[in-house]
Structure 1
Amino acid sequence: MRPRTLDEMVGQRRLLAEASALRRAIQAGRVHSMVLWGPPGCGKTTLALLLAQHADAQFVAISAVLSGLPQVREVLAQAQARFDAGQRTLLFVDEVHRFNKVQQDAFLPHIERGTIVFVGATTENPSFELNSALLSRCRVHVLESVSADDIVLALRQALTDGERGLGERGLQIAAAALNEIASAADGDVRRALTLLEIAADIAVGEGGVITEATLHQVLADRTRRFDKGGEQFYDQISALHKSVRSSNPDAAVYWLARMLDGGADPAYLARRLTRMAVEDIGLADPRALQMAIDAWDTFDRLGSPEGELALAQLTLYLASTAKSNAAYKAWNAARADVREYGTQPVPMHIRNAPTKLMKQLGYGNDYQYDHDVDGGVALGQTGFPDAMGERVYYDPVGRGMEGKLKEKLDALRAARAQARGERKA
């Protein structure tokens, strides 16, 4: 059922609209080297075949999973021979992101000379996976996941096409069942057609009717698209983290469910949630960190699926409670000063003096024992190296428990500044 014309393609309405630059170029036969980036089953291979057809070029396909550098060189040599004979070659490289830099570089001179029209297909972000030299010679086109409505159109075409599809079988299927298959395909047309074909084979023994029971059997083990190591994985963990930070518990628990459903490592999620507790909540709610550790420990004890509830409860709490990144900012500011000022000596008055010699050298001189002064704080003495002076890293927000810390520290810092001024006077 692979589309034979641009009009037969379902989805990609933005990219292949009548007035789009790509469609005009294809129809005019002006096909350029490009990278097609999109999820599985969205039409990358089909589009490459149509490109070759419109460019009047020989279509040659290789897979980066199966081909090494010797095979690449052989294909390129054959393309050169065709080029010398006056025929163009459209070289389609599937899963191009799996080629290393040396393999990718092999295409560059042939793209430059026009020996080949290079079309690479990838499910991964090209800016991360392809080297800049190759990207600079190709236009990147982004293909989108195919909508359920468009997938239904493809399924109906398969059911009525007697030449390439299932039209001769006279199958009967309810509209709701087609919608369910399209939904289960999760944006992948190829997957939808495979599910329909399986259901059709079962229906042969049931009078050609694809029943609800048949459909339930075919769709029993449906899974969603998820790449444990790819961009989609990092997009989803970013969505989870930012939903927690935005105090949106409903969105946060949705993304947690998406990642667990897709097969993300629960230990990784527990670690990231613990990071959120210290980075985005901090001292606004010190209970959050302990809850994160407890939820992590609970999952380790219970496993899946029971332990997933502990991670869900943690996610809901982190998203619902007060937020502050003041401690995170204070830590980064302190580290920056350590790098800038280098190995500054500890002021004499706060050095330890366990020996007689150290006391004679002035270690600990003029130290004020805070518990012995009025108010319990020796306001006049500094805790920083002399070359730095007093610094302020920690600036509590007015939310949660940090609101009380802010009141205390603001007053204490003001009193300390006043005491230092009086000493100088």
Structure 2
Amino acid sequence: MATLPPLAERLRPRSLDDYIGQDHLVGPNAVLRSAIENDNIPSMILWGPPGVGKTTLAHIIAETLKRPFFNLSAINAGVKDIRDVIEKAKAIRIAQTEQPILFIDEIHRFSKSQQDSLLGAVESGLVTLIGATTENPSFEVISALLSRCQVYILKHIEERDLIHLLNTAIEKDESLRNKKIAIKEYDALLRISGGDARKLLNLLELVSNADDARAYPIDNALVLKLVQQNLAFYDKSGEQHYDIISAFIKSIRGSDPNAAVYWLARMIEGGEDPKFIARRLLILASEDIGNANPNALLLANNCFQAVSVIGWPESRIILSQTVTYLASCEKSNASYEAINKAQALVRQTGDLPVPLHLRNAPTKLMKNIGYGKDYQYSHAYEGNFVVQEFMPEKIANTKLYEPSTNPSENKLREKLKKNWKGKYNY
């Protein structure tokens, strides 16, 4: 009996009507759907987490527009591969009018020289570029290429859509339909897959192959049991990458340098991009350490700069120093919580007016109506501080930053308490 393709491949949507999620891009009258239906798509970068349909969307675009389609993966393609595709695209354009689509998966892994080699073909319209990335393209795609592309952000797939995907698989896939399986509980399937549709379907296929799944409805206990038994098989397509980075970050947040450096070693031995690791450390230094130790962010930034110019194996030493330091630091998420509260307050209260005394007054009219009047210049007062109101009147006295309990932020708390004398209740 011939081996079947993976379930995720068997169920890959072939049209926009079958595509799950991303309604803000490809739903009725959405911007990208309109561009596709009008056969007027720009070169684009599809940015989003794994398993949300970036590759599938690229295939659907090419199929819908009946365009020649070239597919490269930045993991194993080089400049020569890019040039070969460009030569083929030239031959196609000479023979016919259709503009080929060049899809590059994980485009963030391309070096500057590799990205530079795409510029001419994209700028001249020889190809329409579709790049897929899980990383912020502002940091990973060169500005010259990024300026010639539209960036579309793909979101995590909603739970209801993931459940619909599971039920559709059971109903429409011939192999699953013949097994007559049923799902009693969805929680474990959804939690382990982490919103990754491809991972979810791989997990369903793994579970459906078990004898227990044919005898009983699939529940949470069965899923957890089978995943533990088949962990290596389950991670065969690389999903473990995201589990390991999660364990790595949580170990540093939990102040365990031993576990943190172990997970670092797992990523190093797996050939992970050092800049990917360093970028996560930058985020963590601010989110989880913050003002408990401001030097953490400085070290993480220096680490990122260093590994950007130093490759393996030397980068591992710099990463290890940074990881063990960050894991050993005092922890605080106070600044992270403060911006979350502030954004929630802005969404709740809207565009509150800036107090008149804080407004700039570049014209005589503005001065006459009170812009800047009564503003007190802090440096003109003892200790470079004077009590005055900086918040919009409607939310005056709202406290958003609450220093954590650690030596560094305890000093900040005392300073704030001394300055504001009970205004913010520090």
TM-score, normalised to structure 1's length? 0.57
Aligned partner of 1:10 in structure 2 is 20
Identify the residue that residue 117 of structure 1 maps to in structure 2: 128
CA spacing shift, 1:151–1:233, aligned 2, 3 Å: farther
2:204: which partner in 1?
A: 196
Which of 171, 185, 189 is matched with 1:181 structurally? Answer: 189
- Mark the CA change 1:105 to 1:266 in structure 2 (over 3 Å): closer, same or farther: closer
Partner of 1:47: 57
- Residue of structure 1 aligned with 2:326, choices 262, 265, 269: 269
Structure 1 residue 134 displacement after superposition: 0.4
* Correspondence for 2:168: 157
Q: Which amino acid aligns with 1:126?
A: P
The count of aligned residue pairs is 276
User: In 2, Cα distance between the equivalents of 1:235 and 1:398?
Assistant: 26
Shift of 1:233: 5.3
Of 394, 399, 403, which aligns to 2:417?
399
Aligned residue among 73, 76, 80 for 1:63 = 73
User: AA paired with 2:41?
Assistant: V
1:369: which partner in 2?
none
Structure 1, unaligned runs of 5 or more = 246-263, 278-314, 326-395, 404-425
From the superposition, tell whether residues 27 and 168 of structure 1 become closer, same or farther in structure 2 (CA, over 3 Å): farther
What SS does the corresponding residue of 1:112 show, helix, strand or coil? helix
Q: Answer whether contact 1:64 1:98 (CA < 8 A) is retained.
A: yes
Give the aligned partner of residue 324 of structure 1.
412
Q: How far apart are the structure 2 equivalents of 1:205 and 1:186?
A: 22
* Alpha-carbon spacing, 1:320–1:160, altered in 2? closer, same or farther (3 Å): farther
Structure 1 equivalent of residue 109 of structure 2: 98
Aligned CA RMSD, in angstroms, stands at 3.6
Structure 2 CA distance for aligned equivalents of residues 270 and 207 of structure 1? 47
CA drift of 1:218 comes to 3.0
Cα distance change of structure 1 residues 276 and 323 upon mapping to structure 2, 3 Å threshold: farther
1:383-404 alpha-carbon deviations (Å, 9 max, x no partner): xxxxxxxxxxxxx82538x99x
Is it true that 1:37 corresponds to 2:47 in the alignment? yes
The DSSP-based 3-state class of the residue aligned with 1:60 is strand
Change (3 A) 1:241 1:195: same
Per the TM alignment, residue 276 of structure 1 is displaced from its structure 2 partner at its CA by 9.3
Instruction: Give the corresponding residue for 2:180.
Output: 170
Describe the superposition over 1:122-155 as per-residue Cα deviations: whole angstroms up to 9, x where unpaired: 1111111111110011011111122332211111
Distance, in Å, in 1 between the alignment partners of 2:325 and 2:28 is 45
1:193 aligned partner, one-letter code: L
After TM superposition, list the pairs within 5 Å mapping 1:243-258 onto structure 2: none
For residues 319-371 of structure 1, the C-alpha deviation after alignment (integer angstroms, 9 at most, x for no partner) is 9963519xxxxxxxxxxxxxxxxxxxxxxxxxxxxxxxxxxxxxxxxxxxxxx
Determine which structure has more spread, i.e. the larger CA radius of gyration: 1
Q: Distance in 1 between matches of 2:412 and 2:164?
A: 49
> Match for 2:86 among 76, 79, 102?
76
3-state SS of the aligned residue for 1:399? helix
Tell me whether 1:238 sits opposite 2:286 in the alignment: yes
Gaps of 5+ in 2: 1-10, 232-239, 250-275, 294-320, 335-402, 422-426
In the TM superposition, what whole-angstrom CA distance separates every residue of 1:143-196 from its partner, at most 9, and x where no partner exists? 112233221111111111135x6223211220x2x2320122112100000110
Q: 1:70-115 deviations in whole A, cap 9, x for unaligned?
A: 1111111111111111132111001111111111111111112211
Q: 1:32 to 1:272 in 2, by over 3 A?
A: farther
In the other structure, the counterpart of 1:372 is none
Q: Which residue of 1 aligns with 2:265?
A: none
How many angstroms apart in 1 are the aligned matches of 2:284 and 2:332?
16
Distance 2:325 2:24 in 1: 36
1-structure distance, mates of 2:408, 2:27:
44
**8 Å Cα contact 1:12-1:143 kept in structure 2:** yes
Contact persistence 1:124–1:231 (CA under 8 A): no
8 Å Cα contact 1:2/1:46 also seen in 2: yes
Greater shift, 316-325 or 31-40, is seen at 316-325
Secondary structure in 2 matching 1:229:
helix
**Aligned-pair distance for 1:205?**
7.4
User: Match of 2:14, SS?
Assistant: coil
Superposed CA deviations along residues 200-257 of structure 1, whole A, max 9, x for unmatched, are 0113774364355431223446848648626555445433245979xxxxxxxxxxxx
Structure 1 residue aligned with 2:218? 210
